Amino acid sequence: MIANLRHLTGRLAVQRGLLQQQQLRMASYLIDQPEYGFLKDLGLERDNPGVYSGHWQGRGQSITSYDPGTGQPIASVRQGTVQELHQTIGLTVEAYRQWRQVPAPVRGEIVRQIGDELRKYKEPLGKLVSLEVGKIYSEGQGEVQEFIDICDYAVGLSRIYSGQLINSERAQHTILEAWRPLGLVGVISAYNFPNAVFGWNAAIALVTGNGVLWKGAPSTPLVSVATTRIVAEVLQRNNLPAVVSLCQ
């Protein structure tokens, strides 16, 4: 009987140890595990600021992003406060006022560079989309490709969109139709297409001279942060203001 009790106690200890290991693994962030090193290739950390307007900040509530397939936490993002939102809007409007003065073909060149930067990070960014949304690998890669494709389209658009010359009933007058930017464009993206929807809107808005403020879905904040980092790198490299901002 004593031997049986010892055997049972040993089995319980082993099971308890395995359970503790499983709980520890579940409590740790995936970003800390070597097989998810691609997350750090995108500039992500355990805790990430979720507001960008030329610099990164985020003093609001911290939200954790989870792998929907396993329930394991990936990393966390600090959301913006109301004050940070108003500040971000103001700074992006100021950036827009400079951006609208840039010739459209030059704006197209910047969007071309954004497309090239996305090509550089397509593999890890597509993996992040798959991980955070729960898509298969090819769908994650395909979504990033959608952003790249719309950048290519927008580059061409920057050189061909134009107004009309219209005859006037007044002598020695001609009516000239000219397209003007709207100003600051807000993009709200859903969780199921966290990268492509932003890209479809942002690429066209940028080449036509608008500023862009992005609010990504709360369940896919890491895609928003990683994508904004890629776009921000291109803007900074060209000494341009933060005409694309994020308030997660």
Say what the pTM is.
0.86
Dmax over CA atoms of the chain, in Å, equals 114
Residue 169 CA: distances (Å) to CA of 164, 175, 198 = 16, 10, 44
**What's the pLDDT score for residue 165?**
87
As a whole number of angstroms, the distance between CA 205 and CA 55 comes to 22
Return the closest-CA partner of residue 75 out of 118, 53, 51, 43.
43
Has residue 26 got a pLDDT over 70? no
- Spatial CA neighbour of 221 closest among 28, 111, 23, 58: 58
| pLDDT tier for residue 21 given thresholds of 50, 70 and 90 | very low
> Over the stretch 121-138, which tens digit does the pLDDT of each residue have?
999 999 999 999 999 999
Mean predicted confidence (pLDDT) in 210-225: 98
Task: Give yes or no for residue 162 having a pLDDT over 90.
Answer: no
| Neighbouring residues of 137: CB distance < 8 A, sequence distance ≥ 6 | 126, 127, 130
What is residue 18's predicted lDDT score, i.e. its pLDDT? 46
Q: How far apart are CA 32 and CA 236, in angstroms?
A: 29
**Helix, strand or coil, per DSSP, at residue 204:** helix
Residue 83 clears pLDDT 80, i.e. is over it:
yes
pLDDT confidence tier of residue 215, bands split at 50, 70 and 90: very high
Q: What is the arrangement of strands in the sheet containing 184-188, beginning at the earlier edge strand? A: 56-57, 51-52, 244-247, 211-215, 184-188
Task: Report which of residues 172 and 54 the model is more confident about.
Answer: 54
Does residue 5 carry a pLDDT above 80?
A: no
Q: What is the DSSP letter of 79?
A: P
Token reading at 49: 């600021």
- Domains parsed from the chain with CATH numbers: 33-247 (3.40.605.10)
Average pLDDT over the chain, rounded to an integer: 91
| pLDDT at residue 25 is higher than 80 | no
> What's the start-to-end Cα distance of the chain, in Å?
61
Return the beta strands (E) in the chain as ranges: 47-49, 51-52, 56-57, 62-66, 73-78, 165-167, 174-176, 184-188, 211-215, 244-247
CA dihedral 115, 117, 118, 119 (to 10 degrees): 90
